[in-house]
Amino acid sequence: MAVMKMLALTMVGPHDEMEPVARQMVLSGGFQPLPLDFLINDRNIRSKVTTESDNPYDDLLGKMSSVWKVAGESLPDPEPIPLDSDFSYHKARRLVEETAGKLETWGKRRDTLSEELERLEATKTFVEALASIDMKPRDMSEARFALALFGRLSCDNFSRLEETTMDAPILAVELSRSDGNVWALVFTVPGYKEGARKILDAVYFKDFSLTEMTNRLSGDDPLRQVEHAIEFHKRSIKGLEDAASGILKEHRKEFEKLYSRLYTMQRVYDLCKGRGEIGGMYVLSGWIPEDTYEAIKDKVERDAPRTSVTAEPVKNISGVRIPTMLRNNRVVRAFQDVVALYSVPSYGEVDPSPFVTITFILFFGFMFGDVGHGILLWLAASYFGKKKKLSGSLAFVMKCASVSSVVFGLLYGSVMGVEELLPALWLSPMRDPGKLFAVAIAAGVVMISAGMILNMIIRYRDRDFGRLLFDGQGIAGLFVYWGSAAALFITVMGLKTPFSVSYLWYTILAVLVLTLFRDTLARTLLHQHVENEPTALKVFEALHNLMNYFTNTASFVRLAAFALNHVALSLAVMSISRIMEPLPGGMFLKMLVLVIGNIFIVGLEGLIVFIQVLRLEYYEFFSKFYRGGGSVFKPVAWKKDRSFQKS
């Protein structure tokens, strides 16, 4: 459970081998391309590098899509399938022409008929509207003193149009409404034609030419003429759809397989756009997880024997951040999003997700411990997760929090704030507040100590032994913190010790002074090259660390405070419900207060507790060791709209 080690992979090979290599990278789902500009510093060499621009498979995929479009069906969900080594663009184009050539022609004819059908239906609406006021279409199109425009727009935009044109020489007349749209006639003076057009464009007014509609009409019954034309177009479109549907039904598996092959190759070429060509040799580079290198290397050597593969761990490339890939189990993976709300771990940094998983669940339950409210929170998280109102990870986090609430509710003996229904397995917040606050402070000491220990691990990895040993956040600082906590505990509890507590305070003060000479000690004892900071800055840093020890620890008092607040708020709801009982309809009012009150507690207080737990994680814990600022590993996924971290 950590930040995965990444390798910078570079593959160089001839053109005929680069395509199967890129195909393997796409289907593996674990390759993030790296622009060659960052690898080639020599401008002369860089100027000779050429890259792909257009994707030749876009057009083929569009033609193949017409098969389902003409049949009136939605596109299939493509599946990644292995491709033959001889599957080339020319072969793909020939297959598409053989498969979709006729259907593409039908599709274009269907689109033309659909556009004409839309104009005919608009003409019908226009003729019906004029018939109701005993006017002929030609009278409207040939008017000289007013310019008439006919078209369609949404109901909301029609309201906007009416408001916009109150002070303009424009009159909008609603003719009819259907499917959330308004058919309207818009009148303006001839000299204001351009201004009217701009206003209508702003409200997405779809204009239909009155002249074209008028020219379509002839005879004494234009409405019947239009209706006949509409029926003819509908029958023609239906005939094309039925014919295409029959072909699709007969060859569905074959067509879907070809569609998936084209989709796969389109993704391959999207990746190949980032490759570079130098003198006929192609270069493809990017990031991969270290544990996938051997499998990729074996695959490339087998399918592309003339392509060389090199990979090396890289600590830093100017202008490029090494991407971060986290690999955790399902439970911890859900809490990665909680960490990401603060910042993504930088590459090589300690992943705090496992620690956040444990502490978040414990702290939430500690502050929101109640069997009944925990069950309600579970039901709410399940409902909103199912309805997609919450992301899958957040819904899972809330379910974990609700389970913790139920467990702590059993420990507290609390059900809907009532502590008489169940015996407390541990303590009662209202009866044992002193013990509750003591546990909260102890949790703070453990949490802050863990943050400092993680900081020391990071210092050890960076070989920064000066800060590891003598810094206020290192071993010296941890001794000061633990020593101060022990001295305060002994003093407050009045415990007897074999030595005077004042000796402990003197030792703590001596170690605190030692942190002021951190840089000097690192240079003299460890022979470490360290720049000397001003003395005033060191004094300020020491005082700041000392203050943080106490303020950060005191901040954990909120654990106990919110646990008491939860009980008090529940009792308040119960008291108000009892007040309602003697009133007319008292039982109904009592139940109403209980329902609304408990929903309020679960919703509002649950949100507040969630925020308070985040505060403890981010400010009291992360501030000790966490830098963040990482860039998420985004491999080229087989589906265009998908980016993920492999887990």
Q: Which residue has the higher pLDDT, 621 or 75?
A: 621
In DSSP notation, 406-424 reads HHHHHHHT-BTTBSSSS--
Residue 237 has what pLDDT? 81
Residue 120 has what pLDDT? 81
Structure tokens at 24: 């393997």
Does position 40 have pLDDT exceeding 70, yes or no?
Answer: no
Residue 342 has what pLDDT? 92
For residue 85, what pLDDT band results from cuts at 50, 70 and 90? low
For residue 62, what pLDDT band results from cuts at 50, 70 and 90? confident
List CB contacts of 157: < 8 A, sequence separation 6 or more: 203, 204, 205
Q: What is the mean pLDDT of the chain?
A: 83
Residue 45 has what pLDDT? 43
Residue 367 has what pLDDT? 96
Tell me the mean pLDDT in the region 375-387: 93
CA-CA distance, 149 to 143, in Å (whole number)?
Answer: 11
Residue 641 has what pLDDT? 43
The pTM is what? 0.70
Structure tokens at 63: 């033609």
Residues 549/448, Cβ–Cβ less than 8 Å: yes
List CB contacts of 26: < 8 A, sequence separation 6 or more: 264, 267, 268, 271, 636, 638
Q: Determine the number of helices (DSSP H) and then strands (DSSP E) in the chain.
A: 24, 13
Structure tokens at 289: 């997880």
Residue 404 has what pLDDT? 96
Give whole-number Cα distances, 226 to 128, 179, 210, 212, 236, in Å: 11, 21, 14, 13, 15
Does position 265 have pLDDT exceeding 90, yes or no?
Answer: no
Tell me the mean pLDDT in the region 422-434: 91
Q: Which residue has the higher pLDDT, 178 or 341?
A: 341
| CATH topology (fold) of 112-236 | Alpha-Beta Plaits (3.30.70)
Give whole-number Cα distances, 575 to 137, 369, 600, 601, in Å: 74, 20, 15, 14
CA-CA distance, 358 to 364, in Å (whole number)?
Answer: 10
Give 191-245 pLDDT, tens digit per residue.
Answer: 888 888 888 888 888 888 877 777 777 666 777 877 888 888 888 888 877 877 8
Q: Which residue has the higher pLDDT, 357 or 282?
A: 357
Q: What percent of the chain has pLDDT over 70?
A: 88
Residues 305/22, Cβ–Cβ less than 8 Å: no
Give 505-530 pLDDT, tens digit per residue.
Answer: 889 989 988 888 888 888 888 888 87
Residues 53/291, Cβ–Cβ less than 8 Å: no
Residue 406 has what pLDDT? 96
Give 130-160 pLDDT, tens digit per residue.
Answer: 776 666 666 666 666 678 888 888 988 888 8
Residue 141 has what pLDDT? 60
CATH code of 2-53+273-324, in short, is 3.30.70.240
Does position 74 have pLDDT exceeding 50, yes or no?
Answer: yes
Give whole-number Cα distances, 495 to 134, 282, 482, 490, 491, in Å: 104, 75, 17, 5, 7
Cα-to-chain-centroid distance, residue 475: 39
For residue 319, what pLDDT band results from cuts at 50, 70 and 90? low
For residue 644, what pLDDT band results from cuts at 50, 70 and 90? very low
Query: For residue 79, which amino acid is it?
Result: E
Residue 279 has what pLDDT? 61
Query: For residue 85, which amino acid is it?
Result: S
Lowest mean pLDDT among 67-71, 79-83, 181-185: 79-83
Structure tokens at 412: 């507290």
What residue has token string 């400092």?
452
475-493 helix and 433-461 helix, angle to the nearest 10 degrees: 170
Tell me the mean pLDDT in the region 243-271: 81
Residues pairing with 209 in the sheet: none
Residues 127/217, Cβ–Cβ less than 8 Å: yes
List CB contacts of 25: < 8 A, sequence separation 6 or more: 31, 271, 284, 286, 296, 636
Residue 42 has what pLDDT? 43
Residue 106 has what pLDDT? 75
Tell me the mean pLDDT in the region 341-351: 90
Does position 3 have pLDDT exceeding 90, yes or no?
Answer: no
Residue 385 has what pLDDT? 92
Residue 316 has what pLDDT? 55
Does position 247 have pLDDT exceeding 70, yes or no?
Answer: yes
Lowest mean pLDDT among 286-290, 300-304, 333-337, 622-626: 300-304
Query: Residues spanned by CATH 3.30.70.2750 within the chain?
Result: 112-236
For residue 484, what pLDDT band results from cuts at 50, 70 and 90? very high
Q: Which residue has the higher pLDDT, 249 or 599?
A: 599
Tell me the mean pLDDT in the region 321-345: 90
Residue 647 has what pLDDT? 40
Tell me the mean pLDDT in the region 73-100: 77
CA-CA distance, 260 to 254, in Å (whole number)?
Answer: 10
Residue 457 has what pLDDT? 93
| Best CA proximity match to 570, nearest among 604, 606, 594 | 594
Give 549-583 pLDDT, tens digit per residue.
Answer: 889 999 999 999 999 999 899 889 988 988 988 88
Residue 451 has what pLDDT? 95
Q: Which residue has the higher pLDDT, 540 or 643?
A: 540
For residue 646, what pLDDT band results from cuts at 50, 70 and 90? very low
- When computed from its CA atoms, the radius of gyration of the chain, rounded to whole angstroms, is 36
